[in-house]
Amino acid sequence: MEREMHAELSFHIEARAEDLVRGGVPREEALRQARIEFGGMERAKEECRDARGTNFVQSLIQDLRFGLRMLRKNPGFTAVAVLTLALGIGANTAIFSVVKAVLLRPLPFKDPALLVRVNESVDKGTRSPVAYPNYLDWRTRSKVFEEMAAFGDCEVIIGGKDKAERAFCEQATDTYFPLLGVSAVIGRTFAPEENSTPMRHAVALIGYGLWQRRYGSDPEILGKTVELNNFDFMIIGVLPKGFLGYSDSAEVWIPMVMRDALWPQTAKYDFLHNRDVHYHKVLARLKPNISLANAQAEMETIAAQIAKAYPKENRERGVLVTPAEEDFVRGFRTPLLTLLAAAVFVLLIACANVANLLLTRGAVRDRELAIRLALGAGRGRLVRQFLAESFLLTMAGAGAGLALSFWGLDLLVSVLPLSFPSFARAHLDGGVLAFAFVLASATAMLLAVFPTASSAHHNVNESLKEAAKSSTGLRGRHFGRVLITGEVALALVLMIGAGLLLKSLSHLLADNPGFRPDHLVTLRFYVPDREYEGDGRKRFGPELAERIAQFPGVESAAATFIDPFLWGGLQRGFTVEGHAPISNAESDTVYYQEIGPNYFKTMGIPVLQGRDFSTRDSIKSRLVVMVSQSFAHRYWPGQEAVGKRLKYGPEDSTNPWVEVIGVAGNVKYNSLRQDPGSEPVIYGALLQSEVIINMSLIVRTRTAPEVMLGPLREEMQRIDPAIPVYNVATFSERMHEDSAETRSYGFLLGLFAALALLLAAVGIYGVMSYWVTQRTREMGIRLTFGARRGDLLRLVIGEGVWLAGIGVAAGSLGALAVTRAMASFLYEVKPFEPALFAMQAIALLGVVVLACYIPARRAMRVDPMVALRYE
Amino acid sequence: MDKQMDLLQGTLDMLILKAVSLGPLHGYGVLLRIQQISKDRLEIQQGSLYPALYRLEHQGWIASEWGESENKRKAKYYRLTAAGKRKLQTEAEKWNRMADVIAGILQTRPEEV
């Protein structure tokens, strides 16, 4: 366009000159005359550009070109600004891609927005699984749902004799698959009749992965047999790739009514007809015009009818309808949003720094701007120019930030301890790119506001006379104050958040778990099914422990049916003799664990009163229990617990009374953040057990526990090759994993806090240096009038610290508000910890002093004579 | 009139439209044609000609394309668009009415007031 214009005007001059030559004027002279006649060429061009109208794209390109030139001319400024923005935008993009994958991605089922979970509720709030007959009643009576389905999930052993492997199995009603919108890729899903008569149709569906892995993608798979817990099922279908059921881990499915085939030992509980077995999970699909509240209301009516008909089984029970999505995002929302907020804080600080850089540079460019204004550039044009520059800066920053998050994302996901749903894969996709772009654009606008606001007040004459320095200085100082205060506040919030998490972590790791975790390993196994009928099953675990205890390098071994820090035992209703009936909510805080002899000795848990179980406490002797200290303290405060009696179920149940024979010390068994005092334990004897499916072998080793894992597993399988052994770990690994969540949030938040602190220090240093430069003359005058150099040092540092002090106050208040959201991640740390707040504030002020010190030194070294001549 | 007249404000646009309505012209050609049809009685600031051309083009009254000049050089030629034709017509009418009114005023004698 420019070139065309130039060509056109040149042509005019040439043509005019040629005419003059024809009239007898010498060529040189003709050209000169033509130019004179034409008048100011540049002015004409400028007028032409204006006349052409403001073609948006063209002037934008022009602005961008000019901006690029300005940025290239100041490589230092550009590098610092781009790097700062890259850190801020990169952190946000990386966290956002995780947020998007986990929180914003719809569930991989048909119309996930209409999918709800229907649970029974205990005490009006706590969700509880559902009794199957209740589900059947709900399904026939409710009119708010298009369809309802029930399912259960558990582990099974596939192929007992050869290639035994553990897998997760869902028992589902025939409505389950249509409800989720899933159909088989080979064969079909369950037919209604296959889920009507119990134990009639032994059919199974297998997952795509299992089909590929175990059956080599056999196209003739239909009609073949799969052995699940030693029971033969006929395969009638293969489900699509990636489908793992609602439990997100299942690989094999059987009809709900075939459940007893997997667990004949529990058949006597009659899962399908007993309203007291609250075991099943229920899914439903809302009719399109029904709201969640409508559904809840109708279900409450139905639940009330059922409770009236069966009052005993439905005591304290209601119903709760919740969006299915909640199941998948609940645990992730707070931590991810906390991290996102932290990343936004970092970006805000980065923005403030770059804005300050732009502003100080704006002051340097005062004369340039004034000249351009004087030459007739419109203010709108200047604003556009600033926008173009900050746009270029932030886009470069966003580009670098995306590169950062591209490399950092895998690291981030591996550092995050959460097991995200299988369908949530964090990656940089279009949505994330769009987010980065929007974020960068918003940043650019924010950045452009500062120099624009500053130039809007411009008095051209003053700037040209260079007197305007002091006036921009004032505006700059105002912004600088806001910047110091704001950055200090934001950094402090992050530092306190990270501090609380790290302090929780140290508590978690240092706290006494109630047992000796060193030299301790756990190996989980299934009791092989057919070979050990009747009494043999009960003795299997304890006998295995006895044999393993003889193994070289083993100090002692014991069996328990819990899986330490993964599964803490059963909750079952109980009655304490002479004590008022215990509510469901209260009995849910008590865990029932079955253990073999030597358990307390192996774990290193002290037996405080009475005696430990022995091999004599068997099926032939009377039933006995042990309890934890907290149990004894809760139900028999100030009394001797040994000799007291309790029974399972309500007072009038037919269960026998059992006597307490001993009290053991409190331990943590569910998680490190557990308060053992509020979750008491009843210990039953494995040798007197009714139901044993799988259990763990706890082994205390003499040598390094980690090198014993392999040999122990081999020894177990040498004793009985049919034992599937899994979940093998040392206790320190288990406890490390258990604290992983707190550790990695602490680590990430700490990282953000460090980043924020660094950026804030750089920002404060920038502001203070600029002030000192601005006030060189003032310093000179002060010195001339007798101020000592130390006074100047104090003046500069004092100003910085005073402002930072305001920031600290604001930050502390902010932290109070924000850390409340983190309460669930804290352990033995309150959201408000005065000592920690003070410590972080002091550390922060220390950094501020340091950031002010270097510019303050410069102020101190001012030579009065030079300073007075300055400007 | 011996002396060249300066152009009245706003009339350059109309003259350009008229000049190109007689056939496509390059910028210098527009200048020459106006001088020719005004019999050299109008003085046109050569520098102000091009901004006017650009403005008219931007408004869509004339269109341009590159072509070859009489002496085989590349030159940008302007021609009138349909919208420009209508514009020229209304401008001419307006100008004539205005000229009548002004002429009428100027011819007024004292006794007529």
- Three-state DSSP at A699 gives strand
Closest residue in B to A45 (Cα) is B51
Average pLDDT value for residue range A194-209? 93
Asked if the model's pLDDT at residue B1 lies above 60, the reply is no
- Tell me whether strands A624-628 and A658-664 are parallel, antiparallel or unpaired: parallel
DSSP H helical ranges for chain B: 11-21, 27-37, 46-59, 82-106
Asked if the model's pLDDT at residue A871 lies above 70, the reply is no
User: What are the start-end ranges of the E strands in A503-621?
Assistant: 520-526, 554-560, 574-576, 591-595, 607-610
ipTM above 0.90, yes or no: no
Closest CA to A573 of A583, A563, A558: A583
- Three-state DSSP at A829 gives coil
CB contact under 8 A, A47 and B48: yes
Beta-carbon contacts of residue B68 (< 8 Å; ≥ 6 apart)? B74, B75
Q: What is the dihedral of CA A338, A340, A346, A350, to 10 degrees?
A: -160
Asked if the model's pLDDT at residue A114 lies above 70, the reply is yes
Asked if the model's pLDDT at residue A450 lies above 90, the reply is no
Query: Model confidence at A235, in pLDDT bands (50, 70, 90)?
Result: very high
Report the gap between the CA of A29 and the closest CA in chain B (Å).
18
Of B31, B47, B58, the CB nearest to A44: B47
Question: Among residues of chain A, what percentage have pLDDT more than 90?
Answer: 34
Looking at per-residue pLDDT, the higher value among A583 and B24 belongs to: B24
Of A4, A18, A44, the CB nearest to B51: A44
Rounded-to-integer distance, Cα A373 and Cα A641, Å: 91
Rounded-to-integer distance, Cα A548 and Cα A546, Å: 6
Which residue ranges form the domains of chain B, and what is each CATH number? 5-112 (1.10.10.10)
Asked if the model's pLDDT at residue B2 lies above 50, the reply is no
Query: Model confidence at A534, in pLDDT bands (50, 70, 90)?
Result: low
> Hey, which residues 49-68 in chain A have their CB within 8 Å of chain B?
50-53
Chain A residues within 8 A of B57 when measuring between CB atoms: 52
| pLDDT-wise least confident of A578-587, A729-738, A860-869, B72-81 | A860-869
DSSP state of B7: P
Looking at per-residue pLDDT, the higher value among B113 and A324 belongs to: A324
What pLDDT, on a 0 to 100 scale, did the predictor assign at position A423?
A: 78
Query: Model confidence at A691, in pLDDT bands (50, 70, 90)?
Result: low
Looking at per-residue pLDDT, the higher value among A464 and A771 belongs to: A771
Q: Count of residues for chain A?
A: 871
Give the bridge partners for A681, in sequence order.
A591
Report the gap between the CA of A18 and the closest CA in chain B (Å).
10
Among A118-132, A270-284, A364-378, A442-456, the range of highest mean pLDDT: A270-284
Q: Does A6 touch chain B (CB under 8 A)?
A: no
Q: Count of residues for chain B?
A: 113
Beta-carbon contacts of residue A663 (< 8 Å; ≥ 6 apart)? A607, A608, A609, A610, A626, A627, A628, A629, A631, A632, A641, A642
Among A444-453, A462-471, A608-617, A689-698, the range of highest mean pLDDT: A608-617
Rounded-to-integer distance, Cα A658 and Cα A656, Å: 6
What pLDDT, on a 0 to 100 scale, did the predictor assign at position A492?
A: 93
CB contact under 8 A, A47 and B26: no
The CA distances from residue A246 to A130, A452, A820, B85, in Å, are 16, 55, 32, 73
Among A182-196, A560-574, A737-751, B58-72, the range of highest mean pLDDT: A182-196
Closest residue in A to B58 (Cα) is A52
Asked if the model's pLDDT at residue A473 lies above 90, the reply is no
What pLDDT, on a 0 to 100 scale, did the predictor assign at position A464?
A: 56
CB contact under 8 A, B28 and A12: yes
CB contact under 8 A, A18 and B71: yes
Asked if the model's pLDDT at residue B6 lies above 70, the reply is no
Closest CA to A704 of A555, A560, A513: A555
Average pLDDT value for residue range A529-543? 72
> Hey, which residues 246-285 in chain A have their CB within 8 Å of chain B?
none
Q: What are phi and psi of A566, to 5 degrees?
A: -115, -45
What pLDDT, on a 0 to 100 scale, did the predictor assign at position A7?
A: 86
Give the bridge partners for A238, in sequence order.
A186, A206
Rounded-to-integer distance, Cα A209 and Cα B18, Å: 81
Asked if the model's pLDDT at residue A470 lies above 60, the reply is no
Rounded-to-integer distance, Cα A224 and Cα A309, Å: 45
> Hey, which residues 7-36 in chain A have their CB within 8 Å of chain B?
7-9, 11-12, 14-16, 18
| pLDDT-wise least confident of A425-429, A644-648, B33-37 | A425-429
Query: Model confidence at A676, in pLDDT bands (50, 70, 90)?
Result: confident
Closest CA to A541 of A728, A698, A701, A730: A698
What pLDDT, on a 0 to 100 scale, did the predictor assign at position A471?
A: 44
CA A549 to chain centre: 42
pLDDT tens per residue, range A60-111: 787 788 888 878 888 888 888 899 899 999 989 988 998 888 888 888 899 9
Rg of chain A on CA atoms, in Å: 38
Report the gap between the CA of B18 and the closest CA in chain A (Å).
20
Asked if the model's pLDDT at residue A475 lies above 70, the reply is no
The CA distances from residue A865 to A518, A691, A773, A775, A792, in Å, are 72, 95, 15, 14, 16
Interface contacts A/B by beta carbons within 8 Å: 67
What pLDDT, on a 0 to 100 scale, did the predictor assign at position A217?
A: 93
What pLDDT, on a 0 to 100 scale, did the predictor assign at position A468?
A: 43
What pLDDT, on a 0 to 100 scale, did the predictor assign at position B113?
A: 67
SS3 breakdown of chain A: % helix, strand, coil, rounded to 5?
Answer: 55, 15, 30
The residue type found at B74 is K
Indicate the angle between helix axes A27-38 and B46-59, nearest 10 degrees. Answer: 60
Give the bridge partners for A696, in sequence order.
A524, A560
Rounded-to-integer distance, Cα A656 and Cα B43, Å: 123
Closest residue in A to B70 (Cα) is A15
Rounded-to-integer distance, Cα A204 and Cα A254, Å: 5
Of A8, A16, A43, the CB nearest to B47: A43
Mean residue pLDDT across chain A? 85
One DSSP character per residue, A278-339 reads --BEEEEEE-TT--HHHHHHHHHHHHHHHHHHSTTTTTTEEEEEEEHHHHHHHHHHHHHHHH
What pLDDT, on a 0 to 100 scale, did the predictor assign at position A624?
A: 93
- Three-state DSSP at A692 gives coil
User: What are the start-end ranges of the E strands in A711-868?
Assistant: 725-730
One DSSP character per residue, A701-744 reads ESS-HHHHHHHHHHHHHHH-TT--EEEEEEHHHHHHHHTHHHHH
CB A194 within 8 A of CB A278: no
